Chains A and B, each alone.
Chain A
Amino acid sequence: DGGITQSPKYLFRKEGQNVTLSCEQNLNHDAMYWYRQDPGQGLRLIYYSQIVNDFQKGDIAEGYSVSREKKESFPLTVTSAQKNPTAFYLCASKTGLLTDTQYFGPGTRLTVL
């Protein structure tokens, strides 16, 4: 399954709460990515990191934060500032080579109650 694990699979949160989604990879990949998947909109990039201790905003970073303290881990925090957080969140990773493929984790479905 590509060596990327995401936990939990399902997550419920009350409005106003921050929540952190886990992403771990054992592929020794340098780059890691967070996407949000909504019906009819495909996948949209939230944040990405090309190297440890560095990360960049994607197309829809508002209301989210990340850290990259270890090569294998790239947790995503959905803050209370995110207006519409209910979605399916996918983590991905790849080597630094442009020609290499992104591999995806199984995803976390976040529901805000």
Chain B
Amino acid sequence: RKEVEQDPGPFNVPEGATVAFNCTYSNSASQSFFWYRQDCRKEPKLLMSVYSSGNEDGRFTAQLNRASQYISLLIRDSKLSDSATYLCVVNMNYGGSQGNLIFGKGTKLSVKP
């Protein structure tokens, strides 16, 4: 059973499009949620944390539904520079755990001119 599942992608969209990524996680004890971005052959970089109330950072909006164990990321007005793989990440961070990050496989986004 996969712990974090994402849309397989790839998503090919024109500049200016709105694109949405979805993610589900299997462990209801998960405590923290993130979207990371990974460029080809580079390290993951934090894009944004995801809070229960939903949060927005410029063109990016993240939502969390704990009841459905579902996380989403919306990118508005996509730019060429948004082309990357988007990783859904959860953190257990409970009890004695140091809270290792559990990654989804990622969804590749390609924004075309």
| A and B are interacting partners | no
